[in-house]
Chain A
Amino acid sequence: SAVISQKPSRDICQRGTSLTIQCQVDSQVTMMFWYRQQPGQSLTLIATANQGSEATYESGFVIDKFPISRPNLTFSTLTVSNMSPEDSSIYLCSGGDRLVDTEAFFGQGTRLTVV
C-alpha cells in the first residue's frame, strides 16, 4: 500500500494570501486527486492531477483559484489562491494505481482556516 504525506497539516492564513499544499507519495501512482471537505460534509472532488499536463477540474472549481502541479508520479501540489474565509476547509489529496482493483490512499489532510 502507498503512503501519502501531506503538509502542512494545518494553517491559519490571512485573507487575500495563497497557500500551497504538498503531497508526496512513497511510490509512483498513476492518479492523484484533490478534495475539499467542508465542516460536517463529505468530500468534494476539486480536480484530478495529471502528470505532465494540466489538471482536470470539476464543475465549480477553476485553475486560477486552485492551481495544481504534478511534476512527476510521486508528487503534487494544490495552491489555494487569494483566499477568503469561505475557503476554510480540510483539503485532502489522494492517489492510487489501478484504482478499480485497489483502493485510493489518502493524505492526512490540511485543515485551513482563513481569517
Chain B
Amino acid sequence: AQSVTQLGSHVSVSEGALVLLRCNYSSSVPPYLFWYVQYPNQGLQLLLKYTSAATLVKGINGFEAEFKKSETSFHLTKPSAHMSDAAEYFCAVWGTGNQFYFGTGTSLTVIP
C-alpha cells in the first residue's frame, strides 16, 4: 500500500529564508511522487513530480525536491521564500487502484 506523511502541518518562514517542507512516503513499488500547491480558494496546481528519472526534480516557481530512496523522503525546498509562496502544499504518491494518495498538507506562512 502507498501513503505519504507530511511532517509539520504549519510552517512559518521569513521572506527570503529557506523553505523546507517534509514528505516521507511508503510504497511497495518504485513510487511516483508529486508536490501540489493550493492557493486560497483555488484548486491544486502541480509544482513538480518524480517519475524515476533524475532524483533532483525542479519545478515551477523556484521549487525543487530530492528523491531519497534510502530515507523514503521527497522533501520540497526553495532557497528564498517569497510572500506569494504562502499556500497549502500537498505531497502525493500515485499508487494502487490507479489513484493518488495525498498527505495531510502543510500550510506555509511567509513572514515579511
B41 within 8 A of A: yes
Report B-chain residues with C-beta under 8 Å of the C-beta of A15.
none
**Interface residue? A104 (CB, 8 A):** yes
Most buried by B among A6, A48, A99: A99
Majority secondary structure, B binding face: strand
Contact B99 A43 (CB under 8 A): no
Contact status of A109 and B42, CB under 8 A, knowing A42-B102, A99-B98, A103-B49: yes
8 Å CB interface, A43-90 against B: 43, 45, 48
Interface size band for B: 20 to 34
Our pick among B41, B43, B94, B98 for the contact of A107 (Cβ within 8 Å) is B43
Contact of A41 with B104 in the complex, beta carbons under 8 Å: yes
Contact B43 A100 (CB under 8 A): no
Main secondary structure of the interface of A (DSSP, over half): strand
CA distance A105 to B36 in the complex (A): 10
**Residues in chain B near residue A109, CB distance under 8 A:** 41-43
The reply to whether B98 and A31 form a contact with Cβ atoms under 8 Å apart is yes
Q: Which of B41, B44, B46, B51 sits near A111, CB closer than 8 Å?
A: B41
Q: In this complex, what residue of A is CB-closest to B6?
A: A42
Which of B32, B43, B49, B99 is within 8 Å of A92, CB to CB? B43
* A residues with CB within 8 A of B: 4, 6, 31, 33, 41-43, 45, 48, 92, 94, 99-101, 103-109, 111
